[in-house]
Amino acid sequence: MVPSKGGGQTVGETLDGLISRLERTSDMPGLDAQVLLVCLLDKPRSWVLAHPEVPLTRNRYAVLEALVARLERGEPLPYIVGHWEFFGLEFEVTPDVLIPRPETELLVERAIAWLRKSEPGSRELKVMDVGTGSGCIAISLAVNVPGLSITATDISPAALKVARCNAEKMNVSGCITFLETDLFPNPLIPDSFSMIVANPPYIPTNTLYKIPVYGREPTLALDGGSDGLALIRRILTEVPDRLLSGGLFLMEIEASEGPAVHSLASDAFPKARIQLHKDLAGHDRLLEVQA
């Protein structure tokens, strides 16, 4: 346990106490305990692990106790510490944006592989990220494939503020245009892209109400309507007009939506090559359309 009055405990003892305390509420108590101590001490994880003998001050205990109490009340750890790692990069996150998920790295990996094959050096590759949230997809692409021109949209001005800040922090704001709009830019401004990517809200409303993320992360970023496909349908209606011939469309989907999304994509792209990819847990997670 973290002692409420403090005094005398070392970093190592505090870490051990935290791990056993978090076992009750967390799937990954060891990792969460480390992340909390890293935040509390403002030192790298390697320092925390290498200095178990350093004593913690009474003030630090009080701050740690407050952080743990928030976690135990159900607040997601990334919002408490204010940042989260995705694709090897550290993204600022606030309750205005979805917390980046490891399964979304699948989309980023496939996007990067395709963009690199397309030799961005020879012409400017235009990419669109629909519903960018924290900006984690657009920014990971910009960091890993120099020379892209990316348009990243979101309906939430608060999310766009976080995304812009992340782009600046990672020195890629020059190649990303952030746009406040509902999915796509105004149709009166025609623009075509070599690649369109999206991680839209895809959880069916009634399922969302029953899962722990409800009320903890932005509903706007999670709620996919009654069958989870409302936004996906709208996106698939627009993508054919926006994607250049030979371009690639990648969209994250919910595990049970594979067959339905495949059929919607076949209607939207009768001649394209359409594939579903599974995530590491073996669930359908990504739609790929090669136009």
**Residue ranges that bind ligand GLN, judged by CB under 6 A:** 98, 101, 199-203, 213, 222, 252
Hunting for tokens 């090897």 — which residue is that? 88
End-to-end CA separation in angstroms for the chain: 56
| Helix H or strand E segment including 85 | strand 83-86
Tokens of 116: 């690199």
Q: Which is nearer to ligand GLN, 142 or 222 (CB)?
A: 222
48 vs 37: CA distance, rounded Å = 7
| Burial of 138 from C-beta contacts in 10 A (0-12 / 13-18 / 19+) | buried
Smallest gap, in angstroms, from Cβ of residue 145 to ligand GLN?
Answer: 23
Decide: 112 and 144 in contact? Cβ < 8 Å: yes
Q: Which is nearer to ligand GLN, 230 or 244 (CB)?
A: 230
In the complex, least distance from residue 263 CB atom to ligand GLN, rounded to whole angstroms: 20
Task: Report, in Å, the least distance between residue 249 CB and ligand GLN.
Answer: 16
Q: Which is nearer to ligand GLN, 135 or 200 (CB)?
A: 200
Contact 197, 169 (CB under 8 A): no
Radius of gyration of the chain (CA): 21
For residue 25, the minimal CB distance to ligand GLN (Å) is 18
Nearer to ligand GLN, 54 or 183 (CB): 183
How many whole angstroms from its chain centre is CA 76?
14
State in angstroms the smallest separation of the CB of 184 from ligand GLN: 17
Nearer to ligand GLN, 80 or 213 (CB): 213
For residues 285 and 138, give the distance between their C-alpha atoms in angstroms, rounded to a whole number. Answer: 18
Smaller CB separation from ligand GLN, 49 or 255: 255
- Give CA–CA dist 120/127, Å, rounded: 11
Q: Quote the DSSP letter at residue 175.
A: G
Q: How far is the CB of 124 from ligand GLN (least distance, A)?
A: 29
